[in-house]
Structure 1
Amino acid sequence: MIEYETFDLGDFPLQHGGTLPGAVLAYRTYGELAPDRSNAIVSPHWFAGTHTANEWLIGPGKALDTDRYFVVVPGLFGNGLSSSPSNTAAPYDRGRFPKVTIHDNVSAQHRLVTERFGIERLVLVAGASMGAGQTYQWAVSHPDMVERIAPIVGSPRTSPHNQVFLEGIRAALTADSAFCDGDYEDQPRTGLRAFSRVYAGWGLSQAFYWERLYEQLGFATLEDFLVGFWEANFGDWDANDLLTMVWTWQHADVGLTPGFDGDTVAALASVKARALVLPSERDLYFPPQDEEWTVRQMSDARLRVIPGLWGHLAGGGADPEAAAFIEASLRELLAER
């Protein structure tokens, strides 16, 4: 059983208009909150994940050391635990679930942190992939609250090339005739398999496949890897939930934060947090060159590239060398005064 708690948001207003009635935010906490509430970290998770996605970094003696820090891992809207198409009542169920943005997610998380726990300052916000997008949004939306950020294999806005990838997996899933415009009775299994196989070509680098590194994960053949890793990863997800998170990712841009009128450069320039930006050397979604640009827009930011052949998945802890690199980087950032 996945243990988590929920925070009731009530009728939650959304950035693009409309309201998500009876909204809930799933979350889990780790460690103890200090009496003065000075040891809090927020660690948003990635696409198609829950709080368990970040647990490789959290615990006694780990980078997010629960002997020292109180770590909050909030759940994305659409992840099946927070408000999602699969758990929301009509008329906002299934394909009628409203469009939610990264800004909406962080607004809900801010309410959780401040209203449930009374936290006024965050030692760190750190997350990977879509978690990195939320990390940037935290620093833009709440510049006086966030002391440090560590966006891992992610970006402050979704690039056109990344949008093309997302359009590809969306099209693969919705092309299944069983999808029925989101009103399916049974999950569109053919579409979910196609979604998984398109994803497989982007999540890891070309060199990962040339070197057959999937064998390190226990898969003897490429087909075994596609079925046993990628199809298994997405096979139990609700299709509408996945599409909600795809839309959120596809439309991410901190420049759309109220007050910036779409100006991503101005939004990044407003960040007061010390930033350690951690792209992956072979990432096909968020290449280091893109994040070099991002770092130049912030006043106190530096870039550190995760080495290796694991591409985007270098940010998830599966590669021991990349995991050690990320952990060491987070420890260094937290030690800085």
Structure 2
Amino acid sequence: MKPKKKKKRQFRQAFARTLQHLAPKRNGKTAFSGRLDSIAILAQEKLGDCVLLTPLIRILRKTRPDLNIHIIAFSRISASFFETDPDVTAVHYAKKRLGTYRKNVLSMTFDVLFNTKDHPSAHFLLQSVLIRARYKVGHANKFHEGLFDHLLTIDYSAHMALKNCALLDLLEIAYNAEECRPSLAPQPLSADIHNFLGQLDEKLLTGINISAGEPNRTWPETKWNALLKRFPDRHFIVLAGQNELEVKKNIECSSPNVITSPATRNLYEVLRIVEKLDLLVTPDTSLVHIASATKTPVIGLYREAPQDISRFGPFRIKSELAISSTGEVAGIDVNTVVSAIEKTADSSFGKQP
């Protein structure tokens, strides 16, 4: 572990121990009872984490139509994501406008608080203590002991979609694993995306997502170009975030089998394209979860991190994983991805109904 990362981890653990010493003790094994009129859910910061939280919110709204669902956000990304979700009652950004946050959150008392992180986080644990709730729920972890009325004991390596939905068991709300599939609330489409979707026909369409969010998850442009040349008869669509639009344009111009597509403004526009695909090739990003939402088969490009794959990998869709032996997604050989795509020629790998 790098010194800086180790120091941050030690700080989080020391902070958790301090809270365990100072905060009123909760036994971690109390069963839920009483009314459920309001819930505060501490949402994780990254876009993929937000997508994996949508099943819990959908099921809560479906089974408790009058429930007040408050999202406590810790990043602008997560706040923006949930602000457009009609199933959410209110979104509160814990790190900005502290006066407003104090008035709208810290002055309230919720029936339930749910900390979605299964490892110690200083910000999440602080808000878990500060926010008043009749019943507080977290995931089992020695640094969470004493701070929650109930600690969920689902296996650490379980998929996060299921770990989020484990709260429902505690609340005695019936659901099945299929209902834990991610979904996105509809948003208006730009005219460019609307027209583009209308132009797509029934060709065999393969999507490639060139955006990764982190350098060690990025596959180089040269390898994407080499991959496209190996499948001259396939039709590809390039998906990219705002920071990779120039690379997207370069690939579209240099590869005759790529269908030029407009830039997407949000994740819902990405979803509408992905649901048209027969296959998506993507690094370990939120688009893996968008594929899960649309039941689109995935070829995932991953670092060698078994727990990341089990916790955040493809969920209830057909998939092939290309795993780097170097610790960097860039280390994955083109031939490995070619072989994974060739496996999809088997009709049994097709899109689920």
Larger Rg: 2
Q: Normalization by structure 2: what TM-score?
A: 0.32
The structure whose RCO (Cα within 8 Å, separation 6+) is larger is 1
Q: Normalization by structure 1: what TM-score?
A: 0.33
